[in-house]
Amino acid sequence: MSAHPTLSGGERTASAEIRFHNTMSGQMEPFVPLEAGVVRSYTCGPTVYDFAHIGNFRTFVFQDVLRRYLKSKGFRVIQVMNLTDVDDRIIQKSAAAGLSIREYTDKYVQAYLDDRTALNLEPPEYIARATEHIDDMVKLIERLTKKGFTYTSEGSTYYRIAKFPAYGKLSKIDVAGMQTGARVDMDRYDKDNARDFALWKAPKPGEHFWETRIGPGRPGWHIECAAMALKYLGDTLDIHSGGVDLTFPHHENEIAEAEAATSKKFVRYWLHAEHLLVDHEKMSKSLGNFATLRELFSHGHKPSSIRFLLASVPYRRQLNFTPESLQGAASSVERLRNFASRLRAEKFPEGSSPEMAGRALRAKEEFDRGLADDLNTAQALAAIFDLVRDANTAMDRGEFRQDDSAVVLTVMENFDAIFAVLRDDDADKLKALGIAPDAPTISDAEIESLIAERQAARKRRDFAASDRIRDELAARGVILEDSRDGTVRWKRK
Ligand SMILES: [Zn+2]
């Protein structure tokens, strides 16, 4: 073991080895980028045919935690994110609205970027619109054609998957019994329909198309990401991430395109985020349990609570999104913010306590160990909340010293470099989006009278009524704290 740098306090810190779960191997692997100190990362961005829903943002928050974490470990991150601003749905919807593709998608591109800002998602180094990279896609298709991986039929160009024996290696799909030459034109299809897929689609009457060297038409979805990843990141990427539903066919097809063209490994680590469930059902538009960020904001949910909730569940676990979990996230953020302001504002007795310095260092190490373990955000957060509890107790007992504040604040700042929830700027963010949440208008007198009513209910052991009043107050932005001596304190959120 090599010696680690020494902290000023004489304490040693050990940096945990970073390990990620690679979908390709199905295993945890130590993360070592191709070029020392640099991470080249590709993110499948949204298809901008509508407002992105909360399920999409689960993946985007995961990708933000990933990049912030790698940066905090000293890596230079080069992240590319595409915007799919041409696909089957966009063509249909823009035509139905009587707008050009650009006019139709501009609104949703802007909304998406604004939503990202509200959730404190750092901008990737490159944001690439598909329609601005048509020539790169045409060039890639030409390379594939030259190597014999394509054929044309009725003006469209298809990828011949029989020519790429490794096809299926990411999604583990079995292509043995597949009929050669069977084709699929849709951008999205399931494993049962694995076929030769369209790289370039001939225009249908009335559809928008580009006039190119490979004929008039428009690109398929999969060629878009492959072309842009190769253009900005080179032949081999360190990380490619996305939602688990992109594994097949999208990422499988990207591999087939990129590796056939370059004869090199396309991606070294594939990271896939699990689904977000709403009341135990998969979030999707077709199921109707669709919630955009804006809907949640206008119902009074804060950007910070949503970010916290989405980040708090490790990305490979399904996340069940419920009003209660959102409420829980809001109080967690509140607790962390209160603690940080206490550290900054409260005056403690002079000096420092070695116990607290050791306690803070332990929390930092535990936090690091959690994130190094395939971004186990739950473990990392537990380390922080334990520290908050212990430090609060020490403060209440008068055992916390003035110089401990700076030490503990450093741990909190390190936490916030990744979770990004401590700044109390939710109101400003909503204002920037032009959203005025349904403000809870409830007077102090009304609150007091409801609390009295609840106390009476508790006295006669009618806990259903008591809970109902508590929930009603919570919905109107008032939080109750029952103390041991039976009194109730309240505060506005
Ligand atoms: Zn993609």
Instruction: Extract the runs of DSSP E, i.e. beta strands, from 44-176.
Output: 76-83, 126-129, 150-153, 156-159
Cα 110 to ligand 1 centroid, rounded to whole Å: 19
Does 57 score more than 50 pLDDT? yes
DSSP H helices in 290-353: 293-298, 303-312, 323-345
223: CA distance to ligand 1 center in Å? 9
Cα-to-centroid distance, 484 and ligand 1 (Å): 54
pLDDT at residue number 8:
40
**DSSP conformation class of 351:** S
Per-residue pLDDT tens for 442-470?
777 778 888 988 988 888 888 888 888 88
Ion ligand 1 nearby residues (CB, 5 A): 44, 225
Question: From ligand 1's centre to the CA of 487, what distance in Å?
Answer: 56
CA 62 to centroid of ligand 1, rounded, Å: 16
pLDDT score recorded for residue 372 = 98
Question: What pTM did the predictor assign?
Answer: 0.85
> How many Å lie between the centroid of ligand 1 and the Cα of residue 187?
11
- 264 alpha-carbon distance from chain centroid: 29
Helices (H), 397-443: 402-419, 426-432
Q: What's the pLDDT score for residue 65?
A: 98
For residue 288, the model assigns a pLDDT of 63
How far apart are alpha carbons 115 and 121 in whole angstroms?
A: 9
Query: How far, in Å, from the CA of 226 to the mean position of ligand 1?
Result: 7
Cα 222 to ligand 1 centre (Å): 6
Q: What is the CA radius of gyration of the chain?
A: 26
Output the CA 257–ligand 1 centroid distance in Å: 12
Tell me, in angstroms, the distance from the centre of ligand 1 to residue 2's CA: 40
CA 393 to ligand 1 centroid distance, Å:
48
333: confidence class by pLDDT, cuts 50, 70, 90: very high
Q: What is the pLDDT of residue 490?
A: 85
> For residue 2, what pLDDT is reported?
38
Determine the pLDDT at residue 465: 86
